[in-house]
């Protein structure tokens, strides 16, 4: 019993500890245990800095050439527990479109099959700094002057 | 010889100190609260994710198996979903997992369902690791400790079954509450987990300019995800609130791992941590995260506080004496079930056949069970149960049946009277 409490205590202290020669050697020992039970975490919530998160949007181009813009965040409900999972997923896709862009686009092609999509364009809406003075002067953090649109990738949908 | 004496002299106090820190004989009550709370959160969370099962975790969803190789690079990262091939397997596992989460929350067959919940939770996380966030790790950490712990021995259906079994032999029997040194060690592990979490969370913030400069909370609320125009208006006009909230968050997080251990400061640190997480829930909509953190903090609730709370509740509700027919097998079996839920032992019992009541006559007792209150009132049958279920916490789950306006009495009375009249045949 004593061995288990010592082992587990050391493991949960080693897991978030900053990188050093000591923690590196300790990690070698604890890594399988930490990974198997998913105890690995740095516990750095909103740290070191608060990231102003971009918004994910996508455009479906249909067979007639019409472009339909979708904002997934608009469909989410803050009261639904999956909301944050979905948000985190899109953040990851925006961070690594070269890895996940094709898979997301393929999924969206299937989801919007009724529109007969030809292509999907993934967009990242970057938010710029918004000061208290901006707020007091009646501006809004999502006014066009505070947003930059960045095209992540355009993927062709498979022919039906 | 001297060396051996020295060894004994030093070893005994060390062993004593070690036992004091880790292995005091204590009940599992604070761990049981964490079990119920985390179980409820998992049922709700994964239950509401059911329509998205194949989208989130399926092979044709957001994370096709081919892409998973980018994220899963360690053979120790395992998920049962890695071994599924047909969609029905996802559905069957999800249903089984939800069932285990509900059983874990209720404390039914806790000794094995807790492992199923842990394996299931880790499996979902590793099947789509990029979708998870901090709270999923916290849940895994707390679940592992609850798996080690002898949970399910109190505030659970397992305890109800144990008490019922003893009461089937003798209605007056009351098995002693479970205590064990291992329960205390696991409570301590959960406390250390929470303290480590707070400490590293504070350290991480102290290395960032947003937090050190006192502006972090402003940037947080300008984020599209947390945006609230009213809050932003207030913060913009009273910017000092941003500084107070930013530094206050760091202060609570850094103070928690140091001041939570002292007897005097613990209630204040718990209140501060509770306040912090209620803020996260209300202002940032982080309900799941806040709830799980609060459940982790429950490990710091002393068993004495809970027993004091129970005693105060018992005093406030007053004594209740239930008089039953000891010659009726069905009545005794029902009473054994009913009393098994009375964890605080608020209900006294009397068999009118062997110990007639001075308040309720034998003729009245033939017709129904009676509840006698300290003021001399005697409530018969349905009304007796209706009175009790509201006042005995273990029976609160029955309140909806007994307190539906009009319907409960309309149907409850005839159903009770029919059962009472036919009890010899049941």
Q: What is the pLDDT of residues B118-131, one digit of tens each?
A: 999 999 999 999 88
Q: Are residues B278 and B402 located together in one domain of the fold?
A: no
Q: Are residues A80 and A150 located together in one domain of the fold?
A: yes
Domain-embedded: residue B203: yes
Domain-embedded: residue A127: yes
pTM of the model: 0.92
CB pairs A-B closer than 8 Å? 180
Of A78, A84, A39, the closest CA to residue B121 belongs to A39
Q: Are residues B160 and B36 located together in one domain of the fold?
A: yes
ipTM confidence score: 0.89
Residue B288: is its pLDDT beyond 60? yes
pLDDT in tens, B6-61: 666 778 888 889 998 999 999 999 999 999 999 999 999 999 999 999 999 999 88
pLDDT in tens, B365-400: 888 899 999 999 999 999 999 999 999 999 999 999
By the 8 A CB rule, do B42 and B164 touch?
no
Residue B2: is its pLDDT beyond 60? no
Domain extent, residue B368, equals 318-425
Question: How many folded domains does chain A comprise?
Answer: 2
Q: Are residues A66 and A26 located together in one domain of the fold?
A: no
Domain-embedded: residue A12: yes
Domain-embedded: residue B381: yes
Could you give the maximum distance between any two Cα atoms of chain A, in Å? 70
Domain-embedded: residue A46: no
CB proximity A4 to B under 8 Å? yes
Q: Are residues A134 and A65 located together in one domain of the fold?
A: yes
The token pair at B351 is: 């068999």
Q: Are residues A73 and A6 located together in one domain of the fold?
A: no
Q: Are residues B326 and B266 located together in one domain of the fold?
A: no
Q: A47: which chain B residues are within 8 Å (Cβ-Cβ)?
A: 201, 204-205, 207-208, 211
Q: Are residues B400 and B274 located together in one domain of the fold?
A: no
Q: How far apart are CA B19 and CA A56, in angstroms?
A: 54
Domain-embedded: residue B234: no
Q: Are residues B363 and B415 located together in one domain of the fold?
A: yes
Per-residue confidence (pLDDT) for residue B367, from 0 to 100: 87
Q: Closest approach of chain A CAs to the CA of B137, in angstroms?
A: 6
Torsion of CA A84, A89, A90, A92, to 10 degrees: 120
Q: Are residues B305 and B330 located together in one domain of the fold?
A: no
Give the nearest partner residue to A38 out of B61, B137, B239, using CB atoms: B137
Q: Are residues B298 and B403 located together in one domain of the fold?
A: no
Q: Are residues B264 and B401 located together in one domain of the fold?
A: no
Domain extent, residue A31, equals 2-36
Q: Are residues A148 and A80 located together in one domain of the fold?
A: yes
Domain-embedded: residue B214: no
Q: Show which of residues 95-154 on chain A sit within 8 Å of chain B, judged by CB atoms.
A: 99-100, 103-104, 107, 110, 127, 130, 132-133, 135-136, 140-142
Q: Are residues B305 and B322 located together in one domain of the fold?
A: no
Are B224 and A53 a contacting pair at CB < 8 A? yes
pLDDT in tens, B347-374: 999 999 999 999 998 888 888 899 999 9
Q: How high does pLDDT run on average in chain B?
A: 93
Query: Which residues in chain A belong to E strands, given as ranges?
Result: 55-62, 67-70, 117-127, 147-156
Of B303, B300, B304, the closest CA to residue B267 belongs to B300
CATH code, domain with B354? 3.40.30
Domain-embedded: residue A50: no
Q: Are residues B276 and B408 located together in one domain of the fold?
A: no
What CA–CA distances, in Å, run from B55 to A86, A108, B47, B79?
Answer: 11, 11, 14, 17
Of A54, A19, A11, the closest CA to residue A147 belongs to A54
By the 8 A CB rule, do B142 and B190 touch?
yes
Best residue of B140, B220, B236, B284 to probe chain A, by most A CBs closer than 10 Å: B236
Q: How far apart are CA B173 and CA B178, in angstroms?
A: 15
Question: How many folded domains does chain B comprise?
Answer: 2
Q: How far apart are CA A61 and CA A155, in angstroms?
A: 10
Per-residue confidence (pLDDT) for residue B308, from 0 to 100: 95
Give the nearest partner residue to A89 out of B49, B130, B227, using CB atoms: B130
Domain-embedded: residue B264: yes
Q: Are residues B189 and B137 located together in one domain of the fold?
A: yes
Domain-embedded: residue A45: no
Q: Are residues A27 and A100 located together in one domain of the fold?
A: no
The token pair at A15 is: 């897991």
Domain-embedded: residue B158: yes
Domain-embedded: residue A81: yes
Q: Are residues B86 and B176 located together in one domain of the fold?
A: yes
pLDDT in tens, A126-154: 999 899 999 999 999 989 999 999 999 99
Q: Are residues A30 and A103 located together in one domain of the fold?
A: no
């Amino acid at each position: 019993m004593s061995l288990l409490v010592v082992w587990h205590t050391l493991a949960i202290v080693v897991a978030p500890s900053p990188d050093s020669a000591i923690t590196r050697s300790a990690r070698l020992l604890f890594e399988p245990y930490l990974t198997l039970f998913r105890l690995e975490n740095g516990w750095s919530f909103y740290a070191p800095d608060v990231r102003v998160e971009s918004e994910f949007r996508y455009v479906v181009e249909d067979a007639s050439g019409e472009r339909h813009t979708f904002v997934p965040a608009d469909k989410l409900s803050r009261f639904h527990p999956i909301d944050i999972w979905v948000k985190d997923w899109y953040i990851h896709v925006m961070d690594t479109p070269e890895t996940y862009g094709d898979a997301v686009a393929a999924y969206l092609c299937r989801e919007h099959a009724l529109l007969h999509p030809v292509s999907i364009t993934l967009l990242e809406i970057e938010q710029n700094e918004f000061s208290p003075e901006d707020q007091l002067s009646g501006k809004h953090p999502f006014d066009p002057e505070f947003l930059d649109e960045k095209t992540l990738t355009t993927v062709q949908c498979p022919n039906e | 010889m001297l060396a051996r004496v020295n060894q004994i002299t030093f070893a005994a106090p060390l062993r004593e100190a070690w036992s004091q820190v880790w292995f005091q004989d204590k009940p599992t009550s604070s761990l049981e609260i964490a079990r119920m709370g985390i179980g409820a959160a998992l049922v709700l969370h994964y239950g509401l994710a059911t329509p998205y099962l194949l989208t989130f975790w399926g092979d044709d969803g957001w994370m096709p198996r081919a892409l998973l190789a980018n994220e899963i690079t360690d053979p120790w990262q395992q998920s049962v979903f890695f071994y599924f091939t047909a969609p029905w397997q996802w559905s069957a596992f999800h249903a089984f997992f939800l069932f285990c989460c509900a059983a874990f929350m209720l404390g039914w067959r806790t000794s094995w369902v807790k492992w199923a919940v842990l394996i299931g939770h880790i499996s979902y996380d590793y099947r789509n690791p990029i979708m998870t966030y901090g709270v999923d790790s916290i849940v895994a950490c707390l679940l592992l400790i609850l798996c080690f712990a002898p949970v399910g021995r109190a505030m659970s259906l397992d305890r109800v079954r144990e008490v019922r079994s003893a009461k089937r032999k003798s209605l007056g029997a009351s098995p002693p509450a479970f205590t064990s040194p291992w329960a205390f060690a696991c409570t301590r592990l959960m406390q250390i987990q929470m303290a480590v979490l707070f400490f590293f969370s504070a350290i991480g913030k102290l290395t960032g300019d947003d937090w050190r400069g006192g502006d972090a909370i402003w940037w947080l609320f300008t984020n599209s995800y947390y945006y609230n125009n009213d809050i932003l208006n207030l913060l913009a006009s009273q910017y000092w609130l941003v500084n107070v909230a930013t530094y206050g968050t760091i202060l609570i997080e850094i103070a928690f791992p140091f001041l939570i251990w002292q007897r005097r400061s613990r209630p204040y640190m718990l209140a501060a941590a509770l306040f912090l997480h209620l803020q996260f829930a209300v202002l940032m909509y982080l309900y799941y995260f806040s709830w799980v953190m609060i459940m982790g903090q429950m490990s710091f609730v002393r068993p004495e506080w809970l027993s004091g709370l129970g005693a105060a509740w018992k005093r406030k509700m007053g004594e209740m004496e239930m008089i039953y027919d000891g010659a009726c097998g069905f009545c005794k079996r029902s009473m054994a079930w009913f009393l098994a839920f009375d964890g605080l032992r608020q209900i006294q019992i009397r068999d009118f056949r062997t110990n007639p009541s001075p308040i309720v006559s034998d003729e009245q007792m033939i017709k129904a069970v009676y509840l006698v209150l300290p003021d001399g009132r005697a409530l018969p049958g349905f009304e007796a149960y209706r009175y009790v279920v509201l006042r005995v916490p273990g029976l609160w789950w029955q309140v909806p049946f007994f307190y539906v306006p009009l319907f409960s009495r309309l149907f409850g009375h005839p159903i009770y009277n029919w059962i009472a009249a036919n009890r010899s045949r049941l």
